[in-house]
Amino acid sequence: MTHAISVKGSVFVPAEAIEMHAVRASGPGGQNVNKVASKVELRVDLSLIRGMDREGRRRLLHLVGKRLDAVGRLRVTSQRSRDQYRNLEDAQRKVHDWIALALEPEKRRIRTAPKPSSNLKRLEAKRIRSEHKQNRRKTSIDES
């Protein structure tokens, strides 16, 4: 029932890397929720993804770290719809989006110096805070 997920160019998840289970959805839904297994749970073996470089795999593992099971497969669930097929499409879209995001290289941060106005604003805030705290101290008149 599951098919390969094409991501970008030569990067794709083969059908044999995807395992699908349909389970009963939680939450409201009346009597239907107790009868129909519309929630979809996908388990994707990330080691079988084709066309992905080492750096992309590292970014993908970082993105989905908490969603990995004990064996190292990505676990994705969807119960948005009352229709099993729509939930399957939604779960596959989630897998596609995570892999596509991992394929994009991270943007390097360009360090910049703070603007002079930012420094002045910060120093002014410190001065005001210092005065506020000094006003809490006991004066010589209070001590007598």
Domain layout of the chain by residue ranges: 5-103
In one-letter notation, the amino acid at residue 112 is T
Give bridge partners of residue 18 from the DSSP assignment: 44
Question: Cα(17)–Cα(118) distance, rounded to whole angstroms?
Answer: 52
pLDDT tops 70 at residue 24: yes
Torsion of CA 43, 46, 50, 51, to 10 degrees: 140
Claim: this prediction has a pTM higher than 0.75:
no
CATH topology of domain 5-103: Double Stranded RNA Binding Domain (3.30.160)
C-alpha to C-alpha distance for 19 and 134, rounded to whole angstroms:
66
**What angle (nearest 5°) sits at the alpha carbon of residue 54, between those of residues 8 and 72?**
90
List pLDDT tens digits, range 31-69.
Answer: 666 777 888 999 999 888 899 889 999 999 999 888 888
Q: Is 5 within 8 Å of 96 (Cβ atoms)?
A: yes
Report the mean per-residue pLDDT for the chain: 87
78 contacts: CB under 8 Å, gap ≥ 6? 39, 40, 87, 88, 90, 91, 94
